[in-house]
Amino acid sequence: MSTNRTFTMIKPDAVANGHIGAIINDITTAGFKIVALKYTKLTAEKAGAFYEVHKERPFYNDLVGFMSSGPIVAAILEKDNAVEEFRKLIGATDPSKADAGTIRQKYAKSIDANAVHGSDSDENAEIEGNFFFTADERF
């Protein structure tokens, strides 16, 4: 397991609102190296599988619908203590509670459409990276 890697998606709201470039700039300025990068769109089935851990939660259907509503950018990122550092950079799940300067505070409008995903553990970073990228798509 790579403990210095995390996985992220720029979600459909941030893509639709034209924030791909600004968010990637914030990520690299914060010292993350891009290991893998892909512009793609999730089917509802794939979004459902990605967020399967939330299957019993009341917001699951909305989350799956939202995450398959438009294109996303997926990436694997590298930095010391990547998972924790990246969650600090993106801020709280609810952007109205996110610290000033965080990606969600700057680019997200609601808890449902909150601009970016960040893995919550080293184990999930590995699983989520493998969900999107083959070995020869990582550099």
At closest approach, how far in Å is the CB of 51 from ligand RTP?
A: 7
For ligand RTP, the closer CB: 35 or 119? 119
For ligand RTP, the closer CB: 6 or 136? 6
For ligand RTP, the closer CB: 35 or 95? 95
Write each residue from 99 to 138 as x if it is in contact with Mg ion (CB under 5 A), else as -, in one continuous string: ---------------------x------------------
At closest approach, how far in Å is the CB of 118 from Mg ion?
A: 7
The two structure tokens encoding residue 89:
């950079």
Is 138 part of any known ligand binding site?
no
Known catalytic residue at 117: yes
The two structure tokens encoding residue 98:
């996110």
Is 87 part of any known ligand binding site?
yes
Q: Which of 117, 125, 126, 128 is catalytic?
A: 117
Amino acid, res. 12:
P
Active site residues per annotation = 117
Annotated binding site for ATP: 11, 59, 87, 93, 104, 114
